[in-house]
C-alpha cells in the first residue's frame, strides 16, 4: 500500500463540522461531494500528503447513520491508496480478509474503492482506493 490516502470521520452535520475542521486544520475544505450509492455527503481537507474526509448520512439507512447511531461521531475508516486495486483485492482475499464488495466501486474524489470487513481487520474498517485513470 502506498500511503494513508485519507481518514474518514463520521459526523452528524457537515454544516457544523466543516467550519470546525477548517479551524482545526487551518485549511479550507476544498471539495464537497455527494455519493448517492453510499447515502453520504462528503467533505475533504488536504493535510500534507493525506486527507481528512468528513462523512454525513443523507438517509436513514445509510451506513454512516447506523455508525453514528451506534458509536456516535468519530473515526469511521482508514483509506489506503493502492497502485492496482484489483490486484490488491485479490491478494487480500487470498489471505482470508473479507471484502465488502467483490468488484471495485465508485467512491468520492475520483476513486475506485473497496472496503474490508472490520471483523477481519481488528475492528478497523479499511478502504482501499485507487485513483481513476
Contact residues: Zn ion, CB under 5 A = 8, 53, 79, 127
Q: Is the dihedral of CA 107, 113, 115, 121 positive or negative?
A: negative
Comparing every residue's Cβ against Zn ion, the nearest one is 8
Residues 6+ apart with CB under 8 A from 43: 14, 17, 18, 21, 29, 31, 32, 53, 54, 56
Cell numbers at 40, concatenated: 453520504
We find the least distance from the C-beta atom of residue 13 to Zn ion, in angstroms, to be: 18
We find the least distance from the C-beta atom of residue 83 to Zn ion, in angstroms, to be: 18
Q: What is the dihedral of CA 69, 74, 80, 81, to 10 degrees?
A: 90
Closer Cβ to Zn ion, 54 or 79, answer by number: 79
Closer Cβ to Zn ion, 81 or 127, answer by number: 127
We find the least distance from the C-beta atom of residue 30 to Zn ion, in angstroms, to be: 15
Closer Cβ to Zn ion, 12 or 105, answer by number: 105
Amino acid at each position: 500500500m502506498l500511503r494513508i490516502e485519507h481518514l474518514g470521520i463520521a459526523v452528524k452535520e457537515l454544516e457544523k463540522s466543516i467550519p470546525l475542521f477548517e479551524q482545526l486544520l487551518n485549511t479550507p475544505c476544498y471539495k464537497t461531494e455527494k455519493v448517492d450509492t453510499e447515502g453520504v455527503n462528503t467533505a475533504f481537507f488536504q493535510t500534507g500528503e493525506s486527507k481528512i474526509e468528513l462523512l454525513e448520512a443523507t438517509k436513514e439507512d445509510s451506513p454512516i447513520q447506523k455508525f453514528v447511531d451506534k458509536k456516535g461521531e468519530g473515526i469511521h475508516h482508514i483509506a489506503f491508496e493502492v497502485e492496482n486495486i484489483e490486484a490488491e483485492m485479490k491478494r487480500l482475499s487470498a489471505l482470508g480478509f473479507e471484502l465488502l464488495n467483490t468488484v471495485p466501486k465508485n467512491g468520492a474524489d475520483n476513486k475506485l474503492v473497496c472496503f474490508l470487513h472490520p471483523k477481519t481487520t481488528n475492528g478497523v474498517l479499511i478502504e482501499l482506493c485507487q485513483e481513476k485513470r
